[in-house]
Structures are given as structure tokens and as C-alpha cells.
């Protein structure tokens, strides 16, 4: 028969006595700091700050988009504008070109601005030290040197007919270098690069102009002009549209020898310039956006 050990009975008796007492001897038990109805909370929860209210991320302000009327994509022809109030607008303009620009000065009625033209002028002669056809303030100079002596608000360029015997790539390279010089020497000018008007092929042959002076070559040069206007960020003027007939040729009534214009024909060029003007603020803002 299994017998219980005596010390187990004694433990049971001691527990019974303790159960009847309200406190335990030998240890102080402080009263609870929590309300009777609230259970104790872990101490670290008491010192943790309240969760912050998330601050919504502000929506960024959209970048202002210029109005269509103020945006200009370089390499596209400038749209028609309000005509200039009078020709004094061109007092601060320079016209760079060849014998066609000579006709603009002599026969168009435009008498304002500085004209730098020379018969036989090409983009390759612009900085030729041996070709100084211009006289500015008593000084003989080439085209690039002339642009170092005065500052302009507008620069108009039409060159290319005399270069038609060269490969189009050579012309594009030469014109690109000239544009770089113009932009460097005339930083405050609106630079206009003009598309060359067409030729009258039949009249060119009748007048025994060089065989390379033809509309096929001229079209390739005009493509180079468009590319450079976009690359160099200058204004493209489609001056050619004032002279292009239904067949793509220079109409006979506007032609002199098939290449140059009739005396009255030059007035169309001046009128075109008067009605296609780029706002200066718009020009420089668009150059800054692209650059």
C-alpha cells in the first residue's frame, strides 16, 4: 500500500492558512496605479508618443506650358504676323546675301537697315581674308568682320544660289559655320534663315546660266536650310512661297533671267518680311527652352 509522504500534508495545511489571510508577510505590495476596471498596460506603451497623422504629399504644381501662339518649333516656317508699323523696324536689321539681296536693296522699296551683299557671294567666302567687298566706317572687311563692328536686333540670311555647283553637304557645312559665327557675334539679334525661292529652269537655260543652276539642286539646298534652322535654333522664313508658281517654278512674269527677280518682283520679298516677324521675347524664350 502506497503511503503519502508527511511533507505533502504539511504543505497543504500551510496553503490553506495563507488563503485565509489578506496580505502576505515579509513583502510590501503597493496599491495598483490603474483603475480597478483598467488592466495594466505594458510600460513601453505608456512612453510611446501617439502615431503622427500622415501629412499628405503636396501635389506638385504643373510646369506651365506656353500657349500655342507663343511656342515656336525651330525648323518650321514662321507663321504670318501682324505687319510692322513702318519700315523703321528694319533700322536695326542686317541683310546678308548675294546679288539677289542686291535687288532687294535696290528695287523692293525697302530702304532701311544695312545690306551686306556681293555678287558671287557664297558661304565659303564669308570669312575669306582675300574677299573683303564691304566697307564699314572706312574699313574694308569680309562678311564675318563686318558683323564684328555693329550690333543688330535682326539678321536676315539668304545665300546659296552661287553655291549650287557644290555638293549639298558642303553647302550645309559652310552655312552651318556661318550661322555659328552670326550667333556668336550677334547674340542679341533674332536670326532669320530664308528658304531660297525657286528658279525658272527654262529661262535659266535660255539665258545660258550654268547648268547646275536648277531647281533640283536648289531643292536639296533648301532641305539643308530647313535642317540647319532646326539645329541652330534660328527662325525659318519660307520666303520661297511668295515666288512659287503652281508648277513649282518661279513664274516667268516674276523672273528676269530665270534666277533673279524682275524689278517689280522684289517688292514681294519686302512685303513678305514685313508680314513675318518673330517677337524677340518669344524667340529667346524658345531658344532657352530648347537649349
- Backbone angle region of 78, left / alpha / beta, with phi > 0 → left and psi within -120 to 50 → alpha: beta
Mark the ranges of the chain whose per-residue pLDDT is less than 50: 1-49, 62-69
Q: How far apart are CA 289 and CA 291, in angstroms?
A: 6
Is 118 domain-assigned? yes
Per the structure, the complete domain to which residue 253 belongs is given by 82-290
Within-domain flag for 77:
no
Query: Is 122 inside any structural domain?
Result: yes
**What is residue 69's predicted lDDT score, i.e. its pLDDT?**
43
pLDDT for 9 equals 43
For residue 146, the model assigns a pLDDT of: 97
CB 234 within 8 A of CB 179: yes
Backbone CA torsion sign across 71, 77, 78, 79:
negative
Q: What are the backbone dihedrals phi and psi of residue 94, each rounded to the nearest 5 degrees, phi first?
A: -120, 135
pLDDT of residue 34: 35
Domains held by the chain: number? 1
pLDDT at 70: 86
- Kindly report whether the global pTM for this prediction surpasses the value 0.75: yes
| Contacts of residue 169, Cβ cutoff 8 Å, sequence gap at least 6 | 224
Residue 233 falls in which region: left (phi positive, over 0), alpha (psi -120 to 50) or beta? left
C-alpha neighbours within 13 Å on the C-beta side of residue 154: 25
CATH of the domain at 206: 3.40.50.1110
HSE (side-chain half, CA atoms, 13 Å) at 50: 3
18 within a domain of the structure (yes/no): no
Q: Is residue 37 part of a domain?
A: no
Q: Cα(76)–Cα(270) distance, rounded to whole angstroms?
A: 20
On whether residue 116 sits in a domain, the answer given is: yes
In a domain, 11, yes or no: no
Closest to 261 measured CA to CA, from 77, 115, 113, 101: 101
Q: What is the DSSP letter of 109?
A: S
Q: Does 91 map to a domain?
A: yes
Amino acid at each position: 500500500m502506497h503511503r503519502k509522504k508527511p511533507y505533502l500534508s504539511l504543505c497543504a495545511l500551510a496553503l490553506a492558512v495563507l488563503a485565509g489571510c489578506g496580505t502576505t508577510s515579509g513583502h510590501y505590495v503597493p496599491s495598483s496605479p490603474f483603475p480597478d476596471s483598467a488592466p495594466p498596460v505594458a510600460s513601453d506603451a505608456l512612453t510611446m508618443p501617439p502615431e503622427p497623422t500622415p501629412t499628405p504629399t503636396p501635389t506638385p504644381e504643373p510646369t506651365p506650358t506656353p500657349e500655342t501662339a507663343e511656342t515656336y518649333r525651330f525648323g518650321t516656317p514662321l507663321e504670318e504676323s501682324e505687319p510692322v508699323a513702318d519700315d523703321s523696324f528694319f533700322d536695326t536689321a542686317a541683310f546678308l546675301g548675294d546679288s539677289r539681296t542686291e535687288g532687294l536693296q535696290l528695287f523692293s522699296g525697302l530702304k532701311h537697315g544695312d545690306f551686306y551683299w556681293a555678287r558671287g557671294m557664297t558661304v565659303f567666302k564669308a570669312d575669306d581674308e582675300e574677299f573683303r567687298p564691304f566697307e564699314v566706317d572706312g574699313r574694308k572687311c569680309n562678311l564675318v568682320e563686318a558683323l564684328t563692328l555693329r550690333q543688330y536686333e535682326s539678321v536676315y540670311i539668304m545665300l546659296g544660289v552661287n553655291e549650287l555647283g557644290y555638293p549639298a553637304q558642303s553647302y550645309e557645312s559652310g552655312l552651318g559655320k556661318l550661322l555659328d559665327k552670326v550667333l556668336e557675334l550677334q547674340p542679341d539679334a533674332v536670326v532669320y534663315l530664308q528658304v531660297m525661292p525657286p528658279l525658272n529652269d527654262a529661262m535659266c537655260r535660255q539665258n545660258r546660266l550654268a547648268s547646275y543652276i536648277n531647281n533640283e539642286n536648289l531643292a536639296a539646298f533648301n532641305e539643308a536650310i530647313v535642317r540647319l534652322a532646326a539645329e541652330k535654333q534660328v527662325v525659318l522664313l519660307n520666303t520661297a512661297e511668295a515666288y512659287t508658281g503652281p508648277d513649282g517654278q518661279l513664274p516667268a512674269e516674276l523672273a528676269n533671267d530665270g534666277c533673279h527677280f524682275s524689278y517689280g518682283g522684289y517688292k514681294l520679298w519686302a512685303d513678305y518680311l514685313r508680314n513675318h516677324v518673330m517677337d524677340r521675347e518669344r524667340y529667346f524664350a524658345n531658344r532657352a527652352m530648347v537649349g
